[in-house]
Amino acid sequence: MNKQVGVLTAGGDSPGLNAVLRGIGKAAQEHFRMELIGFRDGFRGLMENRSMDLDEQALSGILTLGGTILGTSRDKPHRMLVGGKYMDMTDAIVENYRRNHLDVLVCIGGGGTQKNAYRLMQKGLNIITLPKTIDNDVVLTDVSFGFNTALGIATEAIDRLHSTAHSHHRIVLVEAMGHRAGWLALGAGVAGGADVILIPEIPYSVEKVAKAILSRNRGGKHFSIVAVAEGAISLEAAAASAKLDKKKRVQAKKKADSRRRLDSMLSDSMHGGNTLNLAHQLEALTRLESRVTILGYLQRGGTPSAYDRILATRLGTACAALIYEGVYGVMLAARGENAEPVPLDQVVGKIKTVPLDHPWIESARRVGTSLGD
């Protein structure tokens, strides 16, 4: 009997989602003779049993499309808004898994999706996950698909902002996504020749950032580009965060709808490092006019890069092969040119941050880029 494969996309959208759906589907159907069903809007679609057949027609022409033909959401199986109340809908999801006679559920997403998939695995479901995030913060994989495309978008933005910063003799701050990991801001900053790069892993001194900008100004360079990760934090805010009582953190996390909301709460309440405030501080310290560009969801949209299309296709086809072999309870990671399964329990609850000795950091320092420390 042919295997029945369920698949869903969850969390924030990312370039390459359709490419990975195509890779799974075409390999599953044409090479391994499996049947594929896609659940709409993440875990909510599985809970509500809303689905579509991912047949040849559905998969045709989607390789270059941004977004996801299945739709997505940030709903969690164990805490889902139903009828105005948050409820644990795990049992309903398990029931629909069995009702559709699934042999495996493939969950495509970032860190939150890995956690949610692991919870379903603990309920006895056969699970495989694929790492998707523009933040590149999923552990045990060299890279997550979507990151390369977002990196190109952020780099192009910095390239374009150089001319206006130069023309108006301004400080231009460019905010890239990355609450807890600075891969995107760091990579785009290095590639785009930013003069200052600020990432969550390296708390910064506003005074040292201002000093670096003033040094450029005295040298005849009357503009500066500052690449900022949205989670970048000042030394003062980092110290305040460290003093937060652990119990209060737990209580705040329980009350927050998501970890992202918690991060936002902490940022709004204590970070001297949110980008708008930083711009005002730099203006006051340097007497130079500043402007802020927040890239936001621009980084998620549009056609995936060639690299991400290849990566998504590699992971998708390798996923189909794992299903055929009956290998479950794993995340499929990119390791060099290979796709390798890693135990899902080694992935959940962890974040891949930028190591302080990473070559990108070393290269940035060697070309004279300030990291604010």
Return d(Cα 185, Cα 254) in angstroms, integer. Answer: 29
C-alpha torsion sign, points 189, 19, 38, 116: negative
- Could you tell me the two tokens for 354? 């930028």
DSSP classification of residue 7: E
**Which alpha helices (DSSP H) does 169-205 contain, by range?**
183-192
Catalytic residue list contains 75: no
Neighbours of 106 (CB within 10 A): 28
Number of H helices, E strands in the chain: 14, 13
Q: Identity (one letter) of the amino acid at 302?
A: G
8 Å CB contact between 12 and 146 = no
Closest CA to 97 of 62, 51, 60: 51
Give 229's strand partners. 176
Residue-wise DSSP of 234-268: BHHHHHHHHHS-HHHHHHHHHHSSSHHHHHHHHHH
8 Å CB contact between 188 and 156 = no
8 Å CB contact between 89 and 82 = yes
Catalytic pick among 13, 135, 195, 308? 135
8 Å CB contact between 98 and 126 = no
Return d(Cα 69, Cα 18) in angstroms, integer. Answer: 7
Residues with active-site annotation: 135
